[in-house]
Chains A and B, each alone.
Chain A
Amino acid sequence: MSEKQMLYQKRLERYMTAMDCGKPDMVPVAFGVGEWIAKYTGTTLQEIYYDLDKSNSIVSEMLPGLDFDIFKGGPSLWWPPMFDAMGSKLYKFPGIGVEENSTFQFNEQEYMKPEDYDEFIASPTEWLVNHYLPNISTELENPGSYRSTVALIKGAAAFAMQGGIMAQAYGKWTMDHGIVGQGTGFTKAPFDTLGDALRGMKGVLLDLRRRPEKVLAACEAITPHNVNCGLAGAGADTRFPCFAPLHRGAYPFLNPNQWNNFYWPSLKATIEGLWARGKRMLFYAEGDWTPYLEKIAELPDKSIIFQIDTTDPKKAKAILGGRFCLQGGVPTTLLTYGTPAKVKEHIKRTIDELACDGGFILDAGGVVMGDAKQENVIAMIEAAREYGAY
């Protein structure tokens, strides 16, 4: 076994032990290269988003100097050429729609209309193909036309190309640097699937008043699909969690009654469905979820990794600790507005409070934004190693 393979095994063991609420040799550290890297490399965000080779080479250059365990990914969340091929209305990307160094913007609309509920509920996948894709894609406005057919060919080809390029990059990073990828599979809370891209925030909030039974039926129809999306295929690796960014469930988007009745049941069913197949969810609780911790504690033991963003960390530890692995604990604002000294001080306190008896992965609380300072991000990793030995 090579040195890097041994390093991989050590980091994997550290990660697996923490996920199962155990105490590894040291606190595992998760790390992702965010958009903040652009200003340190003389590249524009547009180049980073469009040129996957360039984006991946930036990651390859960074990795040798960094000692962390779990890799969360490179600086671009999406590959815009695929969206361009489809004429997607969903995003404005750097250099096309917004300035070349601006982050992407989600263009939220009611891509699904209130009158579409019944057809969507009857057969979600067919409705997405027949109505949603043409609604969100200018190239698909005339289904069956030359432009539409070519766009679908290009879009699917881009989907496969991106998957292949990223799989190759992860393979190389694993072999060359012994890093462990955080997860496989991507899913969401069914209410977020409905409320983010289909109905939009305004649409889904109006629906809670005007057609609540449709919202519930749609969430129920989405649930088995979200279990499938999280599994990432029948032969998926169930050692690693699926990533689930959670949006409208953060306090106070919904009132507690709405959360209990509309948000939680289908998310809980999704998590239970995944767990029944051995798949854990990285419950990426963006924002504050403190009021809901007791409900989240109803989940099967170890079925999630709970991400602490602005949720009260002490309460999360008290209510979820020991039964679920916790991840996060470092405010993204600290990485932007703090100093290396303040970051180190915070890491020491966080490890003392959250990692004492295991079941904890140190990480930034949420997505590290483009204005974060590299010295603070590096200080986070270094401090984790300095204070993280058990």
Chain B
Amino acid sequence: MKSEFNPPIGQIIQINGQCISLIGNDIDTDRIIPARFLKCVNFDSLGESVFADDRKNLNGKHPFDLEENKNASILVVNSNFGCGSSREHAPQALLRWGIKAIIGESFADIFYSNCIAIGIPCFTLAKELIHKIQKNKNDKYLFLEIDLKKSLAKSKDLNFHLDIKESSRKMFLSGEWDATSTLLENGNLIEKKLTQLPYIKFNTKLL
């Protein structure tokens, strides 16, 4: 884990970093952060516990424990990454370990929204290219420059297009990915919506 944690803020346009590959489909959020670490009222200490059980089982050989990956910040994964529990603790743990972006074959829906909400862009890429990156013999040195404006990634030998939902891309480029203030701007519309919902009228005993 990196010594100092600086959460992302504002516009996210360019991400440069070393890749770290984690191979496997359907890696769920229980594996990213086992439930016992959810007993906390803030996210501060989650970075060190990311993949705790998988790392223990691999006894120092897990990608997150390898010396060559200690400065990595772009996680490269396979399909349905982050499935299962909605715990935001999972991307928060990755973020605190040092992950700034994720490239994968596909992501689970809630995990994806959580990543966007805390400033981790998630990109999708064809399986063949993911495998190429993951199996690259020089993997430990693979350094990528990701340009969100052009949705392009390049390294010394590779140059490829990354897919990201257009709404997410726009939010990162404008710096409005922390949604609260954008949502609050429509205060009047929210108040109006409340009066339009039929069930507000007949649920007098809701509380």
Asked if chains A and B come from one complex, the reply is no
Interface residues of B (CB under 8 A from A): none
